[in-house]
Amino acid sequence: MHDNLRACDHIWLNARIASMDPAVDREYGDLENYALGTKAGFIHALVPMSEAVELNSSVSCTDLHQQWVTPGLIDPHTHLVFAGNRANEFEQRLQGVDYQTIAQQGGGIQATVRATRELCEAELYELAKQRLQSWLSEGVTTIEIKSGYGLTLADELKQLRVARQLARTLPVRVKTTLLAAHALPPEYQHDADAYIDFVCHTILPAAVNQGLVDAVDVFCETVGFSKAQSQRVLLTAEQLGLSVKIHAEQLSNQQGAAMAASLGALSADHLEYLDEGGVKAMQAAGTVAVLLPGAFYFLREKQLPPIELLRQYQVPIALASDFNPGTSPLASLRLMLNMACTFFRLTPAEALAGVTRHAAQALGIADECGMIKVGMKADFCCWDIDHPAELAYMVGTHSLRSRVLGGQVVSA
């Protein structure tokens, strides 16, 4: 028997593996009829079944009977922790009022901020925990969670603590992102620069000191913050040693993606109004394009992100749910795969890379998650499907058979 297999804690036999490893020259990095061995939470062996024949009975095994195995899914952009809902705004928008107008009238993000400030940490935790079940039941093993509905020191930290608590109590990896520059809080209504000072000098350092934050994001938009204000936040974050991301070019072209790329941002997200200069800047910096088809759909956006340019310049494309109560109340990453194919014409293979390898890159964890490869964390899913394209094609079926996190089979 293969030596690496002998040393494993557990072996999954007879697997069809969509490794998503670009070094494997097949559309999904397919490894047909393989054995996958894990050791101490990591993938330790990937061996053709023909080399795994005489299995030592002392190694525990699971026969997958040719089930497909993919990397655990990764949702690299969510606003999971919030209170209340905005069904009333949904109704207004269906009658023709647009998102920006609702925001200018004190609704939008501000409405969720008011509701979120009112709940205590335990209450927010319960809401987020319930929502998170949808991600787990769809095969998600890593989720990013942003703050941004507190906009005070105490309320931003409260949201981040909830995100950290979810990671401690549920079988999922969580990356936290501080998005204190999401909207201007009422306390600073006519002084955005003073609020940016407060974010840079007070909220950011406190979040770092308390170990609550993995990355920093800003909403660079006419209804958010200017490019210069966004840059101040991201520069401060970098000085504190944090990775940076940006909500950019969602509703208009503010050149935010190029600015963030010039700071080496992990990702720029949304990007419907991104131009070629922005694409080039992202390519040069290795910044991932995180597309959010849920927000595109829910806002009935007409402007498509520049998919062909992103392909042409080989900017990695990730996909995320952007789950939030205003622009994407859609708790399904599988639905995003489908929408990315139908709206953005991604191939199902590009879509799957978008919630595995490229999503990992958008979170700065490409060396540990997002592929099935020796040395990576043993986060993977086994599916009752005939082909990986089905993951993007069919929505709402319960095709997940098992979810493995750090080598352990974990239930939803």
Query: Is residue 407 a known part of a binding site?
Result: no
Beta carbon of residue 324, minimum distance to ligand NIG (angstroms, whole number):
4
Contact indicator for 129, 62 with CB cutoff of 8 Å: no
Q: Which of residues 319-358 bind Fe ion (CB under 5 A)?
A: 322
Q: Do strands 243-248 and 380-383 pair parallel, antiparallel, or not at all (unpaired)? A: unpaired
Size of the site for Fe ion (CB under 5 A): 1
Query: Is residue 99 a known part of a binding site?
Result: no
Contact indicator for 14, 66 with CB cutoff of 8 Å: yes
Beta carbon of residue 326, minimum distance to ligand NIG (angstroms, whole number):
2
Residue 354, binding choice from Fe ion, ligand NIG, none, Cβ under 5 to 8 Å by partner class: none
d(CA 250, CA 267): 14
Query: Is residue 190 a known part of a binding site?
Result: no
Q: Tell the residue number behind the tokens 């991604």, with chain if given.
A: 346
Query: Is residue 236 a known part of a binding site?
Result: no
Query: Is residue 250 a known part of a binding site?
Result: yes
d(CA 345, CA 295): 16
Beta carbon of residue 77, minimum distance to Fe ion (angstroms, whole number):
6
Instruction: Using CB positions, name the residue nearest to Fe ion.
Output: 322
- Residue 249, interface with Fe ion (CB under 5 A)? no
- Residue 156, interface with Fe ion (CB under 5 A)? no
Q: In this chain, which stretch among 42-50, 92-100, 317-325, 390-398 interacts with Fe ion, using CB under 5 A?
A: 317-325
Query: Is residue 16 a known part of a binding site?
Result: no
Sign, CA dihedral 133-135-138-142, equals negative
| Residue among 270, 302, 301, 256 at smallest CA distance from 99 | 301
Tell me the CA distances in angstroms from 76 to 63, 176, 317, 387, 397, one per residue in order. Answer: 31, 10, 11, 24, 23
Residue ranges in contact with ligand NIG by CB under 6 A: 108-109, 112, 219, 247, 250, 295, 322, 324-327
Closer to ligand NIG by Cβ: residue 162 or 295:
295
d(CA 348, CA 390): 8
Binding residues: 77, 79, 86, 149, 182, 247, 250, 322, 324, 326-327
Residues forming the site for Fe ion (CB under 5 A): 322
Binding residues for N-formimidoyl-L-glutamate: 149, 324, 326
